């Protein structure tokens, strides 16, 4: 969420940013919120003047009563009463205007970084760099669920009966591989200096609206009926929420955490052929990383975070590339974002396995995450997040890139300690 003062003083910049994100329907909101803000400030000034007048008149009443001037005191009392009625009206108007302003401000997108490429949607994202050589073997790579079924490692039919589409049972060595990848990712991040955390898997509505846009919330979140609780779509939600309404000394920054959680997502919309199986599902597990830092350090941490994911995949010998998200593909709170995509030998193309985002001070402004500088002054922190690894998409990349001609799946050396020393799944 933007600073209202910034919007008031830079309407043209805000409007151009909306155009760059191809959200022209939001352009009238800028003038509307500026007009509402002017009314709000005028209302507040009138209310403040009335409060000051009330205090002055109250003292005057006491003086008049002390002098025995009861009739004059009664006249002043009537004026105080009239002022109080008007003040009640103004307070109600202040509340109404504040609510309308907040609703609009939550909708106006964050200012994107100047380096973000301008484009309408994800089809215009820009490849940045490739890591590792993509290989297409001289034997056929089956669809990922077929590979899993060969090891009796997945049961979609039973899951469909129990929970519906978008769920699965993982079993045997495939289930063990799933847990091994998560454990390896946890230790990988701990070894890079991040503090491990297991957060709440449900959060309140004020945290939901603090960490994401209304559009994302509607498309992703499951609400717990009858309670002010939502199932998290990623541990970033509760991890950033951990710092709600806090003031952290600058000397304590950066805060670097890596978190494990199950994730729950509605995944609205039609899914293509390549999104069957376990590619796009309602429940999965994930290792995440988040950083809370000073504004000056957030660009540096952004680079570090996506490189962590690249390094992890390369340590498991999976080729990846980075893709800069264009303006139209950025969620409203994001300043800059890059997707990490893994190579699919079967599809002969890359597919998304993680996303790294710098949100500037947008989440911090909504959740009041502040920093106290050495001079005692307070300012908003910057927040960043990135996927370390998210099975089962990671499993898809892992199985396809490590499948051997004899049908076995090779276990890279880095992962073998987490698989009991196993060199291959047969």
**Smallest Cα–Cα separation from 236: which of 115, 333, 101, 156?**
333
Separation CA 234–CA 147 (nearest Å): 27
- pLDDT of the residue at 278: 86
CATH class belonging to 4-105: mainly alpha
Condensed to tens digits (0 to 9), the pLDDT of residues 290-325 reads 999 999 999 999 999 999 999 999 999 999 999 999
- pLDDT of the residue at 325: 98
Separation CA 19–CA 6 (nearest Å): 17
Q: Six-digit token pair at 123?
A: 């089809």
Sheet holding 195-197, edge to edge: 126-131, 320-324, 336-344, 349-358, 382-389, 283-293, 255-264, 195-197
Q: Helix 70-105 to helix 27-66 angle, to the nearest 10 degrees?
A: 160
The answer to whether 387 and 353 have CB atoms below 8 angstroms apart is yes
Overall fold of domain 122-425: BirA Bifunctional Protein; domain 2 (3.30.930)
Q: Which residues of 162-192 are buried (b: 16+ CB within 10 A; e: fewer)?
A: eeeebbbebeebbebbbebbbbbbbebbeee
Percent of the chain with pLDDT over 70: 93
Spell out the residues 6+ positions from residue 22 whose beta carbon is closer than 8 angstroms to its own. Answer: 120, 327, 328
Q: pTM score, two decimals?
A: 0.89
User: Alpha helix (H) ranges present in 136-171?
Assistant: 144-150, 156-163
- pLDDT of the residue at 128: 97
- pLDDT of the residue at 270: 46
- Burial class, 53, CB count within 10 angstroms (exposed 0-12 / middle 13-18 / buried 19+): middle
pLDDT by residue, tens only, the chain of 426 residues = 899 999 999 999 999 999 999 999 999 999 999 999 999 999 999 888 887 777 677 667 666 676 777 677 667 677 777 778 788 888 899 999 999 999 999 999 999 999 999 999 999 999 999 999 999 999 999 999 999 999 999 999 999 999 998 899 999 999 999 999 999 999 999 999 999 999 999 999 999 999 988 778 888 899 999 999 999 999 999 999 999 999 999 999 999 999 999 999 997 654 554 556 888 899 999 999 999 999 999 999 999 999 999 999 999 999 999 999 999 999 999 999 999 999 999 999 999 999 999 999 999 999 999 999 999 999 999 999 999 999 989 999 999 999 999 999 999 999 999 999 999 999
- In the chain, what are the domain boundaries? 4-105, 122-425
């Amino acid at each position: 969420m933007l600073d209202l003062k910034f919007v008031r003083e830079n309407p043209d910049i805000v409007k151009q940013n909306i155009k760059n994100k191809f959200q022209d329907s939001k352009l009238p909101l800028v003038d509307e919120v500026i007009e509402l803000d002017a009314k709000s400030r005028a209302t507040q000034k009138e209310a403040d003047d009335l409060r000051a007048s009330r205090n002055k008149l109250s003292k005057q009443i006491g003086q008049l009563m002390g002098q025995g001037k009861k009739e004059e005191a009664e006249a002043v009392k009537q004026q105080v009463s009239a002022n109080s009625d008007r003040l009640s009206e103004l307070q109600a108007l202040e509340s109404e205007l504040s609510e309308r302003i907040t609703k609009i401000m939550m909708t106006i997108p964050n200012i994107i970084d100047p380096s973000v490429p301008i484009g309408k949607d994800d089809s215009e994202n820009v490849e940045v760099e490739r890591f590792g050589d993509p290989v297409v073997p001289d034997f056929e790579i089956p669809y990922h669920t077929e590979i899993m079924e060969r090891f009796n490692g997945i049961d979609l039919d039973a899951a469909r009966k129990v929970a519906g589409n978008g769920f699965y049972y993982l079993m045997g060595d495939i289930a063990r591989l799933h847990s091994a990848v998560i454990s390896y990712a946890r230790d990988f991040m701990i070894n890079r200096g991040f503090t491990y955390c297991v957060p709440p898997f449900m959060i309140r509505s004020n945290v939901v609206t603090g960490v994401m846009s209304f559009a994302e919330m509607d498309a992703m979140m499951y609400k717990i009926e009858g309670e002010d609780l939502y199932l998290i779509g990623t541990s970033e939600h509760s991890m950033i929420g951990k710092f709600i309404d806090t003031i952290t000394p600058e000397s304590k920054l950066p805060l670097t955490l890596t978190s494990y959680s199950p994730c729950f997502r509605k995944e609205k919309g039609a899914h293509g052929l390549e999104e069957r199986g376990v590619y796009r599902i309602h429940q999965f597990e994930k290792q995440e990383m988040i950083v809370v830092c000073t504004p000056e350090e957030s660009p540096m941490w952004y680079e570090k975070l996506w490189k962590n994911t690249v390094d992890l995949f390369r340590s498991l010998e999976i080729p990846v590339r980075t893709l800069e998200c264009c303006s139209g593909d950025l969620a409203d709170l994001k300043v800059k974002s890059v997707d990490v995509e893994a190579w699919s030998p079967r599809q002969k193309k890359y597919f998304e396995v993680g996303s790294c985002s710098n949100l500037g001070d947008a989440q911090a402004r909504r959740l009041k995450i502040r920093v106290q500088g050495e001079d005692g002054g307070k300012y908003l922190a910057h927040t960043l997040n990135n996927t370390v690894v998210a099975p089962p998409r990671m499993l898809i990349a892992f199985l396809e890139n490590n499948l051997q001609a004899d049908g076995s799946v090779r276990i890279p050396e880095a992962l073998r300690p987490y698989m009991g020393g196993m060199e291959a799944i047969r």
